[in-house]
Amino acid sequence: MIKQSGDQPLHTVTMLSRPERARCLRTGACETTERTDLDMVHILEHQSERTPLAAALSKMGSSHDPISYQDVSRQSNTVAHALIAQGVRAGDVVAICLERSPEFIIALYGVLKAGYV
């Protein structure tokens, strides 16, 4: 889905597999085992614990290996700790000046994490 088209709008990405979607539409039983009470930071941490070596981010058109959930978590923790060391606290505004890239996502998670510590 997203891997096939990095330009695909997020609202058009289906989260259910074809069989799950068919069952949901046929029976009305659209239960999920995913937790819906978590925010973005905790979803990343939860996924990192479940599948630490799975691909989390990759740069479109790049020959580089994808970045694992474990590495995204680790690198965003580094960003968060650096921000906290500079005095950033929950509620502060932090600007990120990067092109759309895996590094941008990691920096964004780091900023969010800085508000949670």
Residue 109 near residue 44 (C-beta atoms within 8 A): yes
In angstroms, rounded to a whole number, what is the distance separating the alpha carbons of residues 3 and 16? Answer: 15
Residues 15 and 45 in one domain: no
CATH number at residue 76: 3.40.50.980
Whether residue 27 is found in the same domain as residue 51: no
Indicate whether 49 and 22 sit together in one domain: no
The whole domain housing 46 covers 35-114
Whether 6 and 60 have beta carbons less than 8 Å apart is answered as yes
6: which 2 tokens? 């990095």
Residues 19 and 72 in one domain: no
Question: pLDDT tens string for the chain (117 positions)?
Answer: 344 455 666 556 666 778 877 887 888 777 665 556 678 888 888 889 989 998 889 877 666 789 999 999 999 999 999 999 999 988 889 999 999 889 999 999 999 999 865
What is the Cα–Cα distance from 50 to 2, expressed in whole angstroms? 20
The domain tally of the chain equals: 2
